[in-house]
Amino acid sequence: MKLQGIKIEVIKKQIKHLHLSVLPPNGIVRISAPLSVCDESIRLFAASKISWIRAQQKKFAKQLRHSKREFVSGETIYIWGKQYYLDVRLGEKNNFALKSKKAVLTVRKESSVAQREKYMRKVLRKFLKDEINRLLPIWEKKIGLKCKKWIIKYMKTRWGTYGKITETISFNLQLVHKPIECLEYIIVHELGHIKYRKHGKTFIAYMDAYLPYWRETKNKLNALTLDYIV
Protein backbone atom coordinates (compact mmCIF):
# COMPACT_ATOMS: atom_id res chain seq x y z
CA MET A 1 0.00 0.00 0.00
CA LYS A 2 1.20 3.52 -0.79
CA LEU A 3 -0.17 6.64 0.88
CA GLN A 4 1.01 10.22 0.24
CA GLY A 5 4.31 8.90 -1.08
CA ILE A 6 4.86 6.58 1.86
CA LYS A 7 5.12 2.85 1.22
CA ILE A 8 3.28 0.82 3.86
CA GLU A 9 3.75 -2.88 4.43
CA VAL A 10 0.45 -4.50 5.45
CA ILE A 11 0.36 -7.84 7.24
CA LYS A 12 -2.98 -9.49 7.96
CA LYS A 13 -3.12 -12.03 10.77
CA GLN A 14 -5.28 -13.33 13.59
CA ILE A 15 -5.31 -10.29 15.86
CA LYS A 16 -8.11 -8.08 17.22
CA HIS A 17 -6.82 -4.58 16.56
CA LEU A 18 -4.83 -2.61 13.99
CA HIS A 19 -1.22 -1.99 14.98
CA LEU A 20 1.09 0.55 13.35
CA SER A 21 4.90 0.47 13.56
CA VAL A 22 7.65 2.64 12.10
CA LEU A 23 10.68 0.41 12.33
CA PRO A 24 14.30 1.34 12.94
CA PRO A 25 16.75 1.86 11.45
CA ASN A 26 15.25 2.88 8.07
CA GLY A 27 11.76 4.01 9.10
CA ILE A 28 9.90 1.22 7.30
CA VAL A 29 6.15 1.50 7.96
CA ARG A 30 4.27 -1.66 8.85
CA ILE A 31 0.61 -2.17 9.74
CA SER A 32 -0.60 -5.42 11.28
CA ALA A 33 -4.32 -5.85 10.71
CA PRO A 34 -7.02 -8.38 11.64
CA LEU A 35 -8.00 -10.72 8.81
CA SER A 36 -11.51 -9.25 8.74
CA VAL A 37 -10.44 -5.62 8.18
CA CYS A 38 -10.75 -4.39 4.58
CA ASP A 39 -8.05 -2.48 2.72
CA GLU A 40 -10.03 0.77 2.74
CA SER A 41 -10.30 0.70 6.54
CA ILE A 42 -6.55 0.11 6.76
CA ARG A 43 -5.96 3.04 4.41
CA LEU A 44 -8.14 5.35 6.52
CA PHE A 45 -6.33 4.22 9.66
CA ALA A 46 -2.96 4.94 8.06
CA ALA A 47 -4.15 8.35 6.83
CA SER A 48 -5.13 9.32 10.37
CA LYS A 49 -1.57 8.56 11.53
CA ILE A 50 0.32 10.16 8.63
CA SER A 51 1.75 13.05 10.68
CA TRP A 52 3.06 10.67 13.32
CA ILE A 53 4.54 8.39 10.65
CA ARG A 54 6.42 11.29 9.03
CA ALA A 55 7.71 12.46 12.43
CA GLN A 56 9.07 8.98 13.21
CA GLN A 57 10.70 8.63 9.78
CA LYS A 58 12.27 12.06 10.15
CA LYS A 59 13.72 11.02 13.50
CA PHE A 60 15.30 7.91 12.00
CA ALA A 61 16.61 9.86 8.98
CA LYS A 62 18.51 12.19 11.33
CA GLN A 63 20.37 9.34 12.97
CA LEU A 64 24.06 9.20 12.26
CA ARG A 65 25.18 6.33 10.08
CA HIS A 66 28.65 5.04 9.39
CA SER A 67 29.76 5.31 5.78
CA LYS A 68 30.47 2.19 3.78
CA ARG A 69 33.70 0.67 5.01
CA GLU A 70 36.69 -0.17 2.85
CA PHE A 71 38.43 -1.92 5.77
CA VAL A 72 41.56 0.20 5.68
CA SER A 73 43.60 1.75 8.49
CA GLY A 74 42.01 4.72 10.21
CA GLU A 75 38.41 3.64 9.90
CA THR A 76 36.42 3.30 13.10
CA ILE A 77 34.56 0.30 14.38
CA TYR A 78 32.42 -0.04 17.49
CA ILE A 79 32.42 -3.20 19.57
CA TRP A 80 30.15 -3.29 22.61
CA GLY A 81 29.78 0.48 22.39
CA LYS A 82 33.51 1.20 22.51
CA GLN A 83 35.18 2.93 19.58
CA TYR A 84 38.26 1.36 18.01
CA TYR A 85 40.43 2.51 15.12
CA LEU A 86 41.21 -0.06 12.49
CA ASP A 87 44.90 -0.87 12.06
CA VAL A 88 45.06 -2.97 8.91
CA ARG A 89 48.18 -5.06 8.42
CA LEU A 90 49.23 -7.51 5.74
CA GLY A 91 49.99 -11.12 6.56
CA GLU A 92 49.75 -14.72 5.46
CA LYS A 93 46.33 -15.30 7.03
CA ASN A 94 43.41 -13.29 8.38
CA ASN A 95 43.41 -12.33 12.04
CA PHE A 96 41.68 -9.83 14.33
CA ALA A 97 42.67 -8.56 17.77
CA LEU A 98 41.67 -5.65 20.03
CA LYS A 99 44.63 -3.77 21.49
CA SER A 100 43.89 -0.71 23.61
CA LYS A 101 42.04 1.68 21.24
CA LYS A 102 43.08 -0.24 18.12
CA ALA A 103 41.34 -3.03 16.27
CA VAL A 104 44.19 -4.82 14.50
CA LEU A 105 42.98 -6.50 11.33
CA THR A 106 45.50 -8.68 9.54
CA VAL A 107 44.57 -9.57 5.96
CA ARG A 108 46.21 -11.04 2.90
CA LYS A 109 47.61 -8.44 0.51
CA GLU A 110 45.44 -9.58 -2.39
CA SER A 111 42.21 -9.63 -0.38
CA SER A 112 39.28 -7.60 -1.75
CA VAL A 113 36.97 -5.32 0.24
CA ALA A 114 34.26 -7.98 -0.05
CA GLN A 115 36.59 -10.64 1.36
CA ARG A 116 37.62 -8.40 4.25
CA GLU A 117 34.00 -7.62 5.01
CA LYS A 118 33.10 -11.32 4.96
CA TYR A 119 35.90 -12.09 7.39
CA MET A 120 34.93 -9.22 9.71
CA ARG A 121 31.31 -10.39 9.81
CA LYS A 122 32.62 -13.80 10.88
CA VAL A 123 34.68 -12.15 13.63
CA LEU A 124 31.79 -9.99 14.84
CA ARG A 125 29.44 -12.96 14.78
CA LYS A 126 31.83 -14.77 17.12
CA PHE A 127 31.88 -11.78 19.51
CA LEU A 128 28.09 -11.69 19.58
CA LYS A 129 27.71 -15.46 19.82
CA ASP A 130 30.00 -15.63 22.86
CA GLU A 131 28.02 -12.93 24.70
CA ILE A 132 24.66 -14.50 23.88
CA ASN A 133 25.97 -17.85 25.14
CA ARG A 134 27.01 -16.11 28.36
CA LEU A 135 23.97 -13.91 28.97
CA LEU A 136 21.01 -15.89 27.61
CA PRO A 137 21.20 -18.75 30.17
CA ILE A 138 21.47 -16.20 32.99
CA TRP A 139 18.28 -14.44 31.90
CA GLU A 140 16.45 -17.67 31.08
CA LYS A 141 17.08 -18.87 34.64
CA LYS A 142 16.15 -15.51 36.17
CA ILE A 143 12.92 -15.15 34.15
CA GLY A 144 11.93 -18.82 33.98
CA LEU A 145 11.46 -18.81 30.21
CA LYS A 146 13.62 -20.71 27.74
CA CYS A 147 13.81 -20.45 23.96
CA LYS A 148 14.11 -23.60 21.90
CA LYS A 149 16.94 -22.15 19.80
CA TRP A 150 18.48 -18.87 18.67
CA ILE A 151 20.28 -17.59 15.59
CA ILE A 152 22.23 -14.51 14.48
CA LYS A 153 21.08 -12.68 11.35
CA TYR A 154 21.94 -9.45 9.56
CA MET A 155 18.62 -7.62 9.76
CA LYS A 156 17.74 -4.19 8.42
CA THR A 157 14.61 -3.36 10.43
CA ARG A 158 14.72 -5.32 13.68
CA TRP A 159 17.21 -5.71 16.53
CA GLY A 160 15.66 -9.03 17.43
CA THR A 161 12.60 -11.19 16.77
CA TYR A 162 10.89 -14.23 18.23
CA GLY A 163 9.30 -16.76 15.89
CA LYS A 164 6.35 -18.42 17.60
CA ILE A 165 6.17 -21.33 15.14
CA THR A 166 9.88 -22.16 15.17
CA GLU A 167 10.35 -21.04 18.81
CA THR A 168 13.49 -19.24 17.70
CA ILE A 169 14.99 -15.93 18.80
CA SER A 170 16.84 -14.07 16.05
CA PHE A 171 19.49 -11.52 17.04
CA ASN A 172 20.66 -8.76 14.70
CA LEU A 173 24.40 -9.03 14.08
CA GLN A 174 24.67 -5.24 14.49
CA LEU A 175 24.00 -5.62 18.22
CA VAL A 176 27.70 -6.36 18.59
CA HIS A 177 28.39 -2.67 17.93
CA LYS A 178 26.11 -1.48 20.74
CA PRO A 179 26.69 -1.39 24.53
CA ILE A 180 26.20 -4.75 26.21
CA GLU A 181 23.07 -3.57 28.02
CA CYS A 182 21.40 -3.24 24.61
CA LEU A 183 21.94 -6.95 23.99
CA GLU A 184 20.50 -7.72 27.42
CA TYR A 185 17.45 -5.60 26.61
CA ILE A 186 16.84 -7.58 23.41
CA ILE A 187 17.33 -10.89 25.25
CA VAL A 188 14.76 -9.98 27.93
CA HIS A 189 12.38 -8.50 25.34
CA GLU A 190 12.40 -11.54 23.05
CA LEU A 191 12.22 -14.03 25.91
CA GLY A 192 9.08 -12.18 26.99
CA HIS A 193 7.45 -12.94 23.65
CA ILE A 194 7.61 -16.64 24.46
CA LYS A 195 4.81 -15.94 26.94
CA TYR A 196 3.35 -12.63 25.73
CA ARG A 197 2.64 -12.19 22.03
CA LYS A 198 1.73 -8.50 22.15
CA HIS A 199 3.27 -5.40 23.67
CA GLY A 200 0.31 -4.95 25.99
CA LYS A 201 0.03 -4.11 29.67
CA THR A 202 1.14 -7.56 30.83
CA PHE A 203 4.22 -7.42 28.58
CA ILE A 204 5.13 -3.94 29.84
CA ALA A 205 4.69 -5.12 33.44
CA TYR A 206 6.99 -8.04 32.65
CA MET A 207 9.66 -5.72 31.23
CA ASP A 208 9.35 -3.37 34.22
CA ALA A 209 9.77 -6.28 36.61
CA TYR A 210 12.91 -7.76 35.06
CA LEU A 211 14.52 -4.73 33.43
CA PRO A 212 13.30 -1.51 35.09
CA TYR A 213 15.57 0.67 32.90
CA TRP A 214 14.44 -0.92 29.63
CA ARG A 215 12.91 2.28 28.23
CA GLU A 216 16.18 4.18 28.58
CA THR A 217 18.10 1.31 27.00
CA LYS A 218 15.62 1.06 24.14
CA ASN A 219 15.96 4.79 23.44
CA LYS A 220 19.75 4.51 23.58
CA LEU A 221 19.75 1.58 21.16
CA ASN A 222 17.60 3.36 18.60
CA ALA A 223 19.51 6.64 18.92
CA LEU A 224 23.02 5.25 18.49
CA THR A 225 25.00 5.63 15.28
CA LEU A 226 23.90 2.99 12.82
CA ASP A 227 26.20 0.74 10.90
CA TYR A 228 26.31 0.97 7.12
CA ILE A 229 23.40 -1.05 5.69
CA VAL A 230 24.46 -3.32 2.86
* Model pTM score: 0.71
pLDDT above 90 covers a percentage of the chain that reads 67
Give tens-digit pLDDT for 134-191.
999 999 999 999 999 999 998 877 899 999 889 999 999 999 999 999 999 999 999 9
Report the pLDDT value the prediction gives residue 13, as an integer from 0 to 100.
87
Confidence of residue 219 (pLDDT cuts 50, 70, 90): confident
Report the pLDDT value the prediction gives residue 220, as an integer from 0 to 100.
85
Extract long-range pairs of 78-84: CB within 8 Å, 24+ residues apart.
Answer: 78/177, 78/178, 78/225, 79/103, 79/124, 79/127, 79/176, 79/177, 80/127, 80/131, 80/176, 80/177, 80/178, 80/179, 80/180, 81/177, 81/178, 81/179, 81/180, 81/182, 81/224
Give tens-digit pLDDT for 11-37.
998 888 899 988 766 688 999 999 999
Give tens-digit pLDDT for 203-215.
999 999 999 999 9
CATH 3.30.2010.10 spans which residues of the chain?
A: 114-223
Range 194-225 burial, b when 16+ CB lie within 10 A, else e = bebeeeeeebeebbeebbeebeebbebbbebe
Q: Which CATH number fits domain 114-223: 3.30.2010.10, 3.10.20.70, 3.40.50.150, 1.10.620.20?
A: 3.30.2010.10
